[in-house]
């Protein structure tokens, strides 16, 4: 069997964004004098914003109107992204190009709102790359429900069993598996401790993922190895995030950013 369509998760899979989300939640928690560490955020990576807000409000006994904290968090993320801070994950562009150049339909399926999805794709010049773009606003149930992946396959007119899904979280993997797709998990630093046993393939990065798909005879042999997309070093990335957080902190009373 050969893969006839591909679906890519956005945050943490195509884009290096989880650090932004972690720090943005701390900005939202700032007025309540609370914060979460990087290690604690590992448990939340991949979950929908509504669910994370609910968990944090229960954890810290915060009494606010539903959606209030999430709104602050999403505004912060958009502010950072508007400054051109997005980086692709290594090999992400090459993986998408592999399928696109072979006329294999590609979709992006994300748990973020549509306007945020479109802004992210615009930032990396990929607004017209995908045949199908599915946001959480297009379905009734967010991941781990299979709705997003089922809709992506429907829109691409592809058989789920012949469609590969690339994911970085256990929540996303469960969603894709339950929708019947062939799932490749590519854990990142925020999700590497999660359970990916349901995935067909677990890879360290996109280059590894594509090579394993070749070995599984799911795609054609890759003649030239993908060159990882150029991005800032971890040190530069952390420096930029701290600068953005400090600037944003001037507009928020109290609250710090977990280090």
User: What is the percentage of the chain residues whose pLDDT exceeds 90?
Assistant: 64
Domain boundary among 199, 215, 231: 215
Domain boundary among 182, 200, 215: 215
Give domain status of residue 238, yes or no: no
Give domain status of residue 208, yes or no: yes
Strand partners, 236: none
At 239 the pLDDT is: 57
Give domain status of residue 75, yes or no: yes
Domain boundary among 85, 112, 131: 85
**Token pair recorded at residue 198:** 């349901």
d(CA 188, CA 126): 22
The CATH number linked to 148 is: 3.40.50.1000
Q: Which domain holds residue 115?
A: 5-16+89-215
At 42 the pLDDT is: 82
Mean pLDDT of the chain, nearest integer: 86
Shared domain for 45 and 134, answered yes or no, is no
Task: Provide the pLDDT confidence category of residue 247 given band limits of 50, 70 and 90.
Answer: low
Structural domain total, the chain: 2
Shared domain for 104 and 173, answered yes or no, is yes
Tens-place pLDDT, residues 42-67: 888 878 888 899 999 999 999 999 99
Task: Provide the pLDDT confidence category of residue 238 given band limits of 50, 70 and 90.
Answer: low
At 227 the pLDDT is: 39
Q: Kindly state the average pLDDT of the residues 210-239.
A: 68
Lowest-confidence pick of 8-22, 105-119, 149-163, 232-246? 232-246
d(CA 160, CA 168): 19
Shared domain for 136 and 182, answered yes or no, is yes
Shared domain for 124 and 78, answered yes or no, is no
């Amino acid at each position: 069997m050969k893969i006839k369509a591909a679906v890519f998760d956005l945050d943490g899979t195509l884009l290096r964004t989880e650090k932004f989300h972690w720090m943005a939640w701390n900005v939202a928690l700032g007025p309540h004098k609370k914060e979460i560490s990087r290690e604690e955020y590992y448990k939340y990576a991949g979950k929908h914003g509504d669910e994370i807000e609910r968990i944090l409000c229960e954890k810290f006994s915060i009494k606010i109107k539903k959606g209030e904290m999430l709104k602050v968090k999403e505004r912060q993320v958009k502010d950072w992204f508007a400054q051109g801070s997005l980086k692709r994950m290594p090999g992400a562009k090459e993986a998408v190009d592999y399928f696109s150049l072979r006329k294999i339909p590609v979709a992006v399926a994300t748990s973020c709102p549509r306007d945020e999805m479109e802004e992210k794709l615009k930032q990396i010049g990929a607004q017209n790359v995908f045949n199908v773009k599915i946001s959480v606003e297009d379905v009734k149930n967010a991941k781990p429900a299979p709705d997003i992946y089922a809709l992506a396959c429907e829109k691409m007119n592809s058989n789920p069993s012949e469609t590969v899904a690339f994911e970085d979280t256990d929540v996303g993997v469960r969603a894709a598996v339950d929708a019947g797709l062939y799932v490749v998990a590519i854990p990142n630093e925020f999700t590497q401790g999660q359970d990916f046993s349901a995935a067909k393939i677990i890879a360290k990065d996109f280059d590894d993922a594509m090579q394993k798909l070749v070995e599984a005879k799911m795609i054609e042999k890759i003649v030239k190895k993908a060159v990882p997309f150029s991005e800032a070093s971890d040190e530069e990335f952390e420096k930029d995030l701290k600068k953005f957080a400090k600037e944003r902190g001037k507009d928020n009373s109290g609250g710090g950013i977990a280090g």
